[in-house]
Structure 1
Amino acid sequence: MMGLPFESGMLRSYFIAGTQDIKDKHKTLEEVVKQALEAGITAFQYREKGPTSLTGDAKAKMAQTLRELCADYQVPFIVDDDVALAVQTNADGVHVGQKDERVTQVLKEIGETMFVGLSCDTKAQIEIANQTVGISYIGSGPVYPTGSKADADPVIGVDSLANLVKASQLPVVAIGGITEENIQELPKTGVAGTAVISMIAQSEDVFRTVKTMNTTFEK
């Protein structure tokens, strides 16, 4: 079964989260994702990584719940670096990092059933992506220092981001350390939107945060 076809507008307000990102003990991941969907996010990526994250059946169950939530709102559900889980939940997309399973292998495994995003933070990586048929979009960063990823790469900054966008034949979504203040610097780089973890997961006002993302990158 085919999921939602990829379009670059999906990158405008792209929320990434797993249970490890919900720091407020009174909220569940499911509640935060539902709120973000109601607020108007354009994509959701389930990224369950870290020492406290779910594994096995609990992870599969959570993925299925979030998958159904996204389907209710007609928002693409993307799985981070887990092709088996993406297939099992009939996800719309799968996101692959440079350190994860090779993107060519992922493309072979999923065929035409879902779209694929790839993390690229150097020009060389972008050039390889340009030559790889089947990738739909690029995630580039971290643009700013970030505390959400223990394994984050060195910060690339706004100017380098603009150069990567120029080099890329695919739409690029910016990631890493983005806040409601610094997001204003990003439209001029040419990115299609921003992907955030803590900006939404730890927001005191998810509606305001998502609105800021969407209005910064109006169609």
Structure 2
Amino acid sequence: MVNVSKSLKLYFVMGSANCRMFDPEKTLAEAIKGGITLFQFREKGNKALKGNDCLYLGQKLRHLCEKNKIPFIVNDDIEMALELHADGVHIGQDDGDPYLTRKQIGQNMWLGISTHSVEEAQQAVKDGADYIGVGPMFPTNTKKDAHQVVGPDLIKKIRSSGLDHIPIVGIGGITLDRAKLVYQAGANGVAVISAISGADSPKHAAAAFYSLK
């Protein structure tokens, strides 16, 4: 599998409820054509698919990523990640114990952890995260349980605290005109949901983000 840091450059997060113009498979296919470097399957929210329907969609999206050599990450659901032979799992601060998660997924799968402070970032590194998500960078409507906005300055603080080498992706409310602020703060990449999944052309939206750095 490719290098974690490079894969974070344009990190697309999506579930069926996020898609506006096309079905999830078409949305992801278009985003891949536009240049996304990593995909996270995040099937959450009131209209989220459950059970076999969720698994079936996950299988289709996983196949699409595999065919195009895009790393495939599953949000929170370890059992599904293992069943889909995902490249990694991403967990939040309230989603479970990182030590137990690592024990379940083994050493070959990536472990991403969401962080909202310098202390959480330091703990995530101690817990063996392969990369950390930092946010919310800006106000967002995609996540109803989002934490308070921390801004790109938090990435600077994390870097200056001694965490020079941990791969970091900024997430939350990142639009095309805000993305450069996240890169400039020291992130390896940006995680985007609605700016790609809700665009008239996910391909063109992804290409615009990809061309930034």
What TM-score results when the alignment is normalised by the length of structure 2?
0.95
Work out whether residues 10 and 191 of structure 2, in 8 Å CA contact, stay in contact via their aligned partners in 1. yes
What is the aligned partner in structure 1 of residue 6 from structure 2?
Answer: 9
SS at 2:152 equivalent: helix
Match of 2:156 in 1: 162
**Counterpart pick for 1:23 among 20, 23, 28:** 20
Q: Quick one: which amino acid aligns to residue 178 of structure 1?
A: I
CA contact (8 A) 2:6 2:188 kept: yes
**Could you tell me which residue of structure 1 aligns to residue 108 of structure 2?**
113
2:64 is equivalent to residue 69 of structure 1: yes
Structure 1, unaligned stretches of length 5 or more?
A: none
Which residue identity is paired with 1:128? Q
Paired position in structure 1 for 2:191: 195
SS at match of 2:17: helix
Change (3 A) 1:165 1:202: farther
Structure 1 segments of 4 or more deviating over 3 A?
none
> Aligned-pair distance for 1:120?
0.7
Give yes or no for contact 1:143–1:161 (8 Å, CA) kept in 2.
no
Q: How much has 1:58 moved relative to structure 2?
A: 0.3
* One of 120, 132, 136 as aligned partner of 2:130: 136
Counterpart of 1:179 (choices 175, 182, 188) is 175
Query: RMSD of aligned C-alpha atoms?
Result: 1.3
Offset at residue 6 of structure 1 (A): 4.4
Does structure 1 conserve the Cα–Cα contact (< 8 Å) formed by 2:32 and 2:203?
no
Stretch deviating more after TM superposition (174-183 or 198-207):
198-207
8 Å CA contact 1:92–1:114 kept in 2: the answer is: yes
**Alpha-carbon deviation of 1:161?**
2.6
Task: Tell me the residue number matched to 1:148.
Answer: 142
Q: Which amino acid aligns with 2:190?
A: T
Deviation string, structure 1 residues 37-90 (Cα, Å, up to 9, x no partner): 111100000000011100000001100110000001000010000000000000
The number of residue pairs the alignment matches comes to 211
1:58 counterpart residue number:
53
Deviations 1:160-193 (A, max 9, x none): 2321233334110000000111112222101001
